[in-house]
Amino acid sequence: MKIGIIGAGNIGGNLTRVLTSLGHDVSVANSRGPQTLTDLAKETGATPVPVEDAAHGAEIVVVTVPVKAVPNLPSGLLDKAAEGVAVIDTGNYYPQQRDGRIAGIEDEGLTESRWTERQIGHPVIKAFNGTYAQDILDRARPAGAADRMALPVAGDDQEAKRKVMALIEELGFDTVDAGGIDESWRQQPGTPVYGMRGSAAEVTEALAAAAPERTPEFRG
Ligand SMILES: NC(=O)c1ccc[n+]([C@@H]2O[C@H](COP(=O)([O-])OP(=O)(O)OC[C@H]3O[C@@H](n4cnc5c(N)ncnc54)[C@H](OP(=O)(O)O)[C@@H]3O)[C@@H](O)[C@H]2O)c1
C-alpha cells in the first residue's frame, strides 16, 4: 500500500520503520526537507519527500507532528491523495508543555482531532495517540498472542476506520472501535486508556471509564 507519513520524529520514524519492513511503499516528510531524512531513508527504504508531496497517491496518510504545527501544514496537503484516503491523526494536545493554548479546543470544546481535521480540511482517524513510540517497534505480537496489546481507534468515516484498523492489526496490535471523533476525548491525554498497555477488553473498559473534562495538567 502507498502510505504518506508527515512527521518523522518518534512516532513517524518508527511507523516508517515497521511499515517499510512489511513491504509498504512509504513516503516520509518533515519540516526541514527531504535532505534531512537521508539516514532514515537508507535505513528503511522509505522515500523522503517535501511535505507538499507526502500524500501524493497515498491510500493512507499519517499526520504525526506536534499539534501546534498542524496549522503550518501546506494547504491542499491531501489534494493528490488516492480517492478515499484514510488520514490518521496521532496528535495529542499538550497546552502547558508544548502546544500553547488553542482556542478551538479550549473555548469551542472541540476534541483535539476535530480541531485538527478542521485545520487540514479532511476527516481523520485518531489512532496511536496513546501508544509509546517505542512500543510500535517492541510490542507487536501475532494475532491471538496472550500479551497482544489493543489500540483504540476513533473516527466518523467507517470505511477509513476499517482500513486503519486492518493496518494496525497487520502491525501486530488488536484494535477497539472507540466511536466517532466527537467522542475521541475518551482517548485523549489524561484518560485511563492513554498510555495503557492492555487487551481489547481492558481498552474497552478504560474507554467507558473516561470523563470528558480535561484534567488540570492538560488544560490551557
Ligand atoms: N512520542 C510519543 O511516544 C508519542 C506517542 C503518541 C502520540 N504522540 C503524538 O504524536 C505527535 C508526534 O509526536 P512525536 O513524538 O513523533 O514528535 P517529534 O518527535 O517531536 O517529531 C515531530 C515531527 O514533526 C515534524 N514537523 C513539525 N512541523 C512540521 C511541519 N510544519 N511540516 C512537516 N513536518 C513537521 C518534525 O520535523 P522537523 O524535525 O524537521 O521539524 C518532526 O519530524 C504529537 O502530537 C505527539 O503528542 C507522540
Please give the tally of structural domains in the chain.
1
| Ligand 1 mean position, distance from CA 94 (Å) | 12
Owning domain of residue 198: 2-218
Helix/strand/coil for 184: helix
* CA–CA gap between residue 65 and residue 70 (Å, rounded): 7
Best of 16, 30, 78 for a ligand 1 pocket test (most atoms within 8 Å of beta carbon): 30
- In the DSSP assignment, the letter for residue 212 is S
List alpha helices for the chain, DSSP H: 10-21, 38-44, 103-106, 112-120, 133-138, 158-171, 200-209
CATH of residue 58: 3.40.50.720
- pTM for the structure as a whole: 0.99
Q: What contacts 104, CB < 8 A, 6 or more positions away? A: 110, 115, 118
| Ligand 1 mean position, distance from CA 90 (Å) | 9
| Ligand 1 mean position, distance from CA 9 (Å) | 5
The reported pLDDT for the residue numbered 158 is: 98
Q: What is the pLDDT of residues 31-79, one digit of tens each?
A: 999 999 999 999 999 999 999 999 999 999 999 999 999 999 999 999 9
**pLDDT band for position 192 (50/70/90)?**
very high
Contact 18, 140 (CB under 8 A): yes
**Between the CA of residue 167 and those of 57, 61, 209, what are the distances in Å?**
17, 12, 27
Q: What grid cell was written down for 8?
A: 518523522
Contact 136, 171 (CB under 8 A): yes
Q: What contacts 162, CB < 8 A, 6 or more positions away? A: none
Q: Are β-strands 125-126 and 150-155 bridged in parallel, bridged antiparallel, or unpaired?
A: antiparallel
Q: What is the pLDDT of residues 73-109, one digit of tens each?
A: 999 999 999 999 999 999 999 999 999 999 999 999 9
Q: Please tell me if the CB atom of residue 92 comes closer than 6 angstroms to any atom of ligand 1.
A: yes
Length of the chain: 220
| Ligand 1 mean position, distance from CA 188 (Å) | 16
Closest CA to 178 of 147, 199, 163, 156: 156
Q: Please tell me if the CB atom of residue 31 comes closer than 6 angstroms to any atom of ligand 1.
A: yes
**Between the CA of residue 142 and those of 11, 59, 147, 149, what are the distances in Å?**
21, 24, 9, 10
